[in-house]
Amino acid sequence: MSLNALHEAAAVAERLLPVYEDLHQHPELSFHETRTAGIVAARLAELGFDVHEEIGRTGVVGVLTSGDGPVVMLRADMDALPVFEQTGLPYASTARGTDAEGVDVPVMHACGHDMHVTALLGAAELLSAAHGEWTGTLVLVFQPAEENGGGAQVMVDDGLYDIIPAPDIVLGQHVMPFPAGFIGAASGPAFAATDELEVRLFGRGGHGSQPESTIDPVVMAAATVMRLQTIVSREVAGRETAVLTIGTMQAGTKNNVIADEARLGLNIRSYDPAVRDRVIAAAHRIVNAEAAASGVDRAPEITGRDSFPVLVNEPAATARTLGVLREQLEGVVVGDVQPIMGSEDIGNLAAPVDAPIVYWLLGGTDPTLFEGSELLTSLPAGVPSNHSPFFAPVPEPTLRVGIAALTTAAREWLGAAENSEGER
């Protein structure tokens, strides 16, 4: 097989740049990706894929078969975040949406899923054009709702594998604030498990001038937040890994009114199931203990929300994939990276069929911002991370490299068609 993927990807990336900018300007929240799904479905149909829509509510799957051979799945996520964009780009989002709680929120592609979708559409174009050069079945999954942890499993539960064959390999990528032109992956455990807890603390409201007649849930919440911070520092060993973040804290309506309740949103990251269980149990213990210390009449409510498993890159498959990317993507730096505490639900597509995963990181930041910095140790000043209102990948060369990487990896795992001389 001979394929100058970077060269061919350049022309495709140029044609798809308006698509990327359009998707960035029109982001959609989890399970609301109807416009994005429509664009994807129409494009796949034009390229000759069998298209299946509304799998897992808004998911889209394209299938292209070229004889017998391996089944290779490529996946991109489509949803955006409730973030107010501040990039200043000419195609910046001003969109708004309604979140799961019914609240009107700003919406932004603050995690690069618009880049994931566009890159996979580019790979679809190159792979469909070369379908006579490979054998097997190519499955492209455009997944909803990665940000809330449910999209992949919802697609599976909605009968994904009744519609498509089980993949022999699941491939994907995530754009990150690394220099554009860099690709990296961790072999083995690569992305952390995550668990989210919603906590309701019940106090007794009243007038701000008479706190003695109330049970103040704001004070209770503040004490709980501070105590929760001791779990990782005092209950997780130095050789273990965990992160606990309180991402939301809500209470009250007016300065002189003591509220009836407060709400906390916890996010827990871990790699070891035993550590996970210990951290979650400690969070429950502390929430209940702080409530008891406040003398509450009603015990707190603690509800589990989004959850992702640890993402494990199969070592042999990862080595093979990085090897072909290193060999064929001239000028692209391909390397090993350390596991990260971010989470991904692509594993829920692979687990039901026991398929190996290779999921790599795609640099998307202006390389000049990294001059004088040691790559991948920490972000230089001025480089925004995923989920920041300032996060936006530079389209070139990010899109070109992303298209080439997906195409090259897929070709490595698909079978090779015989040429006219009967050679392979």
Quote the pLDDT of residue 376.
Answer: 56
116 is in an annotated binding site: no
Strand partners, 359: 172
Q: Is-above-0.75 flag for pTM?
A: yes
Per-residue pLDDT band at 1 (split at 50, 70, 90) = very low
What number is the average pLDDT over the span 299-316? 94
pLDDT digits (tens, 9 = 90+) for 387-407: 999 999 999 999 999 999 999
Options 8, 77, 79, 85, the catalytic residue: 79
pLDDT digits (tens, 9 = 90+) for 64-112: 999 999 999 999 999 999 999 999 999 999 999 999 889 999 999 999 9
Options 85, 114, 125, 146, the catalytic residue: 146
pLDDT of residue 422 exceeding 50, the answer is: no
Per-residue pLDDT band at 362 (split at 50, 70, 90) = very high
174 is in an annotated binding site: yes
Quote the pLDDT of residue 24.
Answer: 98
Residues above pLDDT 70, as percent of the chain: 97
Quote the pLDDT of residue 148.
Answer: 86
Quote the pLDDT of residue 382.
Answer: 84
pLDDT digits (tens, 9 = 90+) for 251-285: 999 999 999 999 999 999 999 999 999 999 999 99
Per-residue pLDDT band at 195 (split at 50, 70, 90) = very high
User: b/e string for 46-77 if b means 16 or more Cβ within 10 A?
Assistant: ebebebbbebbbbbbbbbbbbeebbbbbbbbb
- φ, ψ (nearest 5 deg) of residue 208: -60, -20
pLDDT of residue 421 exceeding 50, the answer is: no
**Residue, of 374 and 29, whose pLDDT is higher:** 29
CB 225 within 8 A of CB 287: no
Half-sphere exposure of 288 (CA within 13 A, CB side): 10
Check if 68 is active-site: no
pLDDT digits (tens, 9 = 90+) for 106-154: 999 999 999 999 999 999 999 999 999 999 999 999 999 999 878 999 9
Write the CATH number of the domain with boundaries 5-190+310-416: 3.40.630.10
What number is the average pLDDT over the span 209-213? 97
Q: Which CATH number is correct for 193-307, 2.40.30.160, 3.40.50.300, 3.30.70.360, 3.90.10.10?
A: 3.30.70.360
For residue 251, give the 3-state DSSP assignment. Answer: strand
pLDDT digits (tens, 9 = 90+) for 11-37: 999 999 999 999 999 999 999 999 999
What number is the average pLDDT over the span 165-182? 97
pLDDT of residue 355 exceeding 90, the answer is: yes
Quote the pLDDT of residue 404.
Answer: 98
CB 387 within 8 A of CB 81: yes
Per-residue pLDDT band at 423 (split at 50, 70, 90) = very low
Which residue in this structure is represented by tokens 């006579």?
132
Quote the pLDDT of residue 380.
Answer: 86
113 is in an annotated binding site: yes
Strand extents, DSSP E, 235-392: 242-251, 257-258, 261-270, 301-308, 311-313, 333-336, 357-365
Residues above pLDDT 90, as percent of the chain: 91
Give 254-294 as a DSSP string.
Answer: STTEE-SEEEEEEEEEESSHHHHHHHHHHHHHHHHHHHHHT
- Segment among 13-17, 44-48, 380-384 with least mean pLDDT: 380-384
User: Across all residues in the chain, what is the average pLDDT?
Assistant: 95
111 is in an annotated binding site: yes
Per-residue pLDDT band at 323 (split at 50, 70, 90) = very high
Per-residue pLDDT band at 417 (split at 50, 70, 90) = confident
Check if 146 is active-site: yes
For residue 97, give the 3-state DSSP assignment. Answer: strand
Please report, for the chain, the start and end positions of each structural domain, with discontinuous segments joined by +. 5-190+310-416, 193-307
